[in-house]
């Protein structure tokens, strides 16, 4: 698809000791940030091939989450697209095509970057699907590396960057050599979000496909 973009993320805004590494920041984030919302910018870079330069696409929008298992990405630029996980189903709505794709959430997420920050309630739950380790600080952030334990996933490498306990970035590499970098801003942690925030209603006249 012309607009197939990664769907991954989550946030927090509480300070943490300056000595904390990425793994400690992730643990504190999962412990304290049960729901929240942010803005994001995502840059997707496809690998160079056939002598052509690498291609880069940038998109932006809004993100919200509530753990365990609920999140929503609303892409506003350059194309309108909404991705909602309601706890049972992942819905993807392409506004231009007026087309909805739905997938079983347990099968759709698996060992994906979205699962790192939206699915598990704590670090122990996350370690069932990922091998985690602190990575060297870079760009003023503390980083943690997450490697999927399942050999069947499309994601080969994920780095999550924190500024203190605040989620700041995700750096994702898939098996095709495509790299996605998501930067978060205006992060707000909330006790909970309204019950209807993650409810998706199929727009009138939209085509619905199940995968």
Q: Tell me: the pLDDT tens digits for 23-79?
A: 999 988 888 888 999 999 999 998 888 777 778 999 999 999 998 889 999 999 999
72: nearest Cα among 61, 60, 82: 82
Please state which architecture CATH assigns to domain 22-210: Clam (2.50)
- List all residues 6 or more positions away from 13 whose beta carbon is below 8 Å from its beta carbon: 36, 165, 166, 187, 188, 189
Q: Tell me: the pLDDT tens digits for 126-136?
A: 888 888 999 99
In percent, how much of the chain has pLDDT > 90?
A: 48
**Cα(174)–Cα(153) distance, integer angstroms:** 9
The H or E element containing residue 69 is none
Tell me, yes or no, if the pTM score tops 0.85: no
- Locate 9 and state its tokens: 């993320």
Phi, psi (degrees; rounded to nearest 5) at 33? -105, 95
- Domain segments of the chain: what residues? 22-210
């Amino acid at each position: 698809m012309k607009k197939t973009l990664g769907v991954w993320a989550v946030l927090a805004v509480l300070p943490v000791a300056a000595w904390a590494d990425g793994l400690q920041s992730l643990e504190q984030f999962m412990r304290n940030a049960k729901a929240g919302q942010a803005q994001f910018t995502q840059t997707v870079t496809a690998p160079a091939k056939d002598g052509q330069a690498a291609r880069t696409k940038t998109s932006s929008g809004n993100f919200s989450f509530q753990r365990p298992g609920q999140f929503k990405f609303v892409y506003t630029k350059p194309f309108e697209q909404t991705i909602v996980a309601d706890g049972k189903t992942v819905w993807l709505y392409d506004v231009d095509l007026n087309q909805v794709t739905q997938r079983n959430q347990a099968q759709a997420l698996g060992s994906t970057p979205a699962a790192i920050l939206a699915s598990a309630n704590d670090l122990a739950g996350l370690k069932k699907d990922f091998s985690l380790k602190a990575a060297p600080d870079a760009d003023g952030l503390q980083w943690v590396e997450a490697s999927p334990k399942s050999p069947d996933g499309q994601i080969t490498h994920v780095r999550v960057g924190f500024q203190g306990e605040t989620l700041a970035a995700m750096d994702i590499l898939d098996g095709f050599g495509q790299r996605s970098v998501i930067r978060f801003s205006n992060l707000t942690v909330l006790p909970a979000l309204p019950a209807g925030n993650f409810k998706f209603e199929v727009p009138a006249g939209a085509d619905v496909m199940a995968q």
